[in-house]
């Protein structure tokens, strides 16, 4: 009998995301009889996910087996693929803390999950748990591929590669394919007629090419159309999913840099020092920047889930729509050898020659039976390299703090953050980091904790 794959999902209490990933997996013939091991520390959310996964199996009429685990090591035993999706500390208290404490210093944020003081703190909370997964994988499934969907993606991927270099890992995000869809919508062009190539770091990759396939088989550069549409006020069109997010920041940066970034305007506004400034409400209004956007989404998602959970429990079957996540495509290619191309975050190793060798780069990757193989990009345009490096500085110092257990590097990371440095002086930055470390002391490693405010020397 042919062996079937085992897929372990750590953080399976993220039921909606689990549903999307497992729904994709079960629609692949090569994966439809897989063993799906769901693991979460929250027994109530795990039970809800078990119900949803079981109904997915029944709806699709497949032979997959669903297991649930509260023990991580047991869940990982014999796994071929490990999907990770969790938020350490949750919306409350940790996300709320990451927004409310900086506000006391006049530092406003939009998402705070990737860069800035919010991203630094989230990395500090998250990386030790990812390292524990890697440790367990080396014990019970050393050849498995880790598909990591956790923010801050670049910090996490870098930190895993630093401490556990033999782990086969990739950081996965939907920003590249998601933004391609948004731009196709603005241009009124079917996204399947667009060819693109992007590279950079997670949440700050850029489309180096963005082209429309013509009837004669040639390709036409779409950047002139995007710039013209923005300058004429036709682009961006109103958001198809969130009216608070107007997407003007990225179009403005397109006119300055010549390239379009792959993560949303609400994200990008806080990765740079140009858009969120104390005493400049005109910038917030002009570019439609949604301050405190992530907490609002969390509240809405929590409320929405209450209704969804009740509906899933009552339903006999659950609709299974294909998502645009890469996980099932990767698993299918590795398991069958059928090649595919995805965008993944891995150790750079010379793929982008203008960025550090050890940073986490986001590049096109070929996937087949040999695993995930990043492609060579070469040097990025110098203005893109320069901007990306400002973010890499923060990521590198955060990773160094984690690897060396040196708290001083957390202050250095915040000091180098473009948005934080544009708003606060050095004493304020040191004091803010102290306050955040004190507030998060139950969620961070012991070496990083402070019990009371520590004054800068």
Q: Which residues does the annotation place in the binding site for Mn(2+)?
A: 173, 203
91: helix, coil or strand?
Answer: helix
Beta carbons of 112 and 119 less than 8 angstroms apart:
yes
Check whether the bond before 89 is cis (ω within 30° of 0).
no
Contact 427, 399 (CB under 8 A): no
DSSP 85: -
Annotated binding-site ranges for substrate: 151
> DSSP letter string over 95-148?
IHHHHHHHHTTT---S--SSSHHHHHHHHHHHHHHHHHHHHHHHHH-TTPEEEE
In this structure, are residues 142 and 118 in contact, taking their beta carbons and an 8 Å threshold? no
H-assigned helices in 279-417 = 281-287, 293-314, 327-336, 382-404, 408-416
In 3D space, the residue among 273, 280, 270, 266 whose CA is nearest the CA of residue 423 turns out to be 273
Residue length of the chain: 457
Residue in 174, 240, 412, 440 annotated catalytic: 174
Catalytic-residue membership of 412: no
Q: How far is CA 98 from the centre of its chain?
A: 17
Nearest to 448 by CA among 456, 437, 439, 457: 437
Provide the annotated active-site residues: 174
């Amino acid at each position: 009998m042919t062996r079937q794959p085992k897929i372990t999902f750590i953080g399976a209490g993220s039921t909606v995301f689990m549903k999307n990933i497992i729904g994709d997996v079960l629609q692949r013939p090569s994966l439809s009889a897989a063993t799906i091991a769901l693991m979460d520390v929250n027994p109530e959310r795990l039970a809800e996910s078990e119900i949803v996964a079981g109904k997915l199996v029944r709806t699709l009429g497949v032979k997959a087996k669903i297991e649930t685990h509260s023990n991580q090591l047991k869940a990982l035993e014999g796994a071929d693929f490990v999907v990770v999706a969790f938020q350490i500390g949750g919306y409350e208290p940790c996300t709320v803390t990451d927004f409310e404490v900086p506000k006391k210093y006049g530092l406003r944020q939009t998402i705070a999950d990737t860069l800035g003081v919010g991203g630094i703190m989230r990395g500090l909370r998250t990386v030790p748990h990812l390292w524990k997964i890697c440790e367990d994988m080396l014990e019970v499934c050393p050849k498995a591929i880790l598909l990591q969907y956790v923010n801050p993606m670049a910090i996490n991927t870098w930190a895993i590669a630093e401490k556990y270099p033999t782990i086969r890992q990739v950081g996965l995000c939907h920003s590249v394919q998601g933004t391609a869809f948004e731009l196709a919508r603005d241009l009124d062009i079917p996204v399947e007629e667009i060819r693109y190539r992007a590279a950079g770091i997670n949440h700050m990759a850029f489309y180096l090419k963005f082209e429309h396939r013509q009837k004669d088989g040639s390709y036409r550069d779409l950047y002139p159309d995007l710039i013209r549409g923005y300058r004429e006020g036709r682009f961006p069109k109103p958001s198809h999913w969130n009216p608070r997010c107007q997407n003007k920041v990225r179009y403005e940066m397109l006119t300055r840099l010549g390239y379009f970034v792959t993560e949303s305007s609400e994200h990008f506004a806080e990765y740079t020092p140009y858009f969120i400034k104390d005493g400049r409400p005109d910038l917030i209004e002009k570019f439609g920047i949604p301050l405190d956007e992530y907490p609002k989404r969390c509240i809405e998602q929590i409320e929405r889930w209450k209704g969804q959970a009740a509906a899933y429990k009552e339903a006999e079957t659950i609709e299974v729509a294909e998502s645009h996540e890469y996980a099932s495509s990767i698993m299918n290619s590795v398991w069958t050898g059928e090649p595919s191309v995805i965008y993944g975050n891995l150790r750079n190793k010379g793929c982008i020659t203008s960025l550090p060798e050890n940073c986490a780069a986001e590049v096109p990757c070929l996937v087949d039976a040999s695993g995930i193989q990043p492609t060579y990009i070469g040097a990025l345009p110098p203005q893109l390299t320069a901007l990306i490096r400002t973010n890499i500085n923060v990521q590198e110092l955060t990773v160094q703090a984690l690897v060396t257990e040196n708290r001083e590097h957390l202050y250095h990371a915040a000091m180098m953050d473009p948005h934080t440095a544009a708003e606060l002086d050095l004493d304020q930055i040191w004091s803010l980091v102290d306050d955040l470390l004190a507030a998060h002391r139950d969620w961070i490693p012991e070496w990083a904790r402070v019990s009371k405010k520590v004054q800068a020397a």
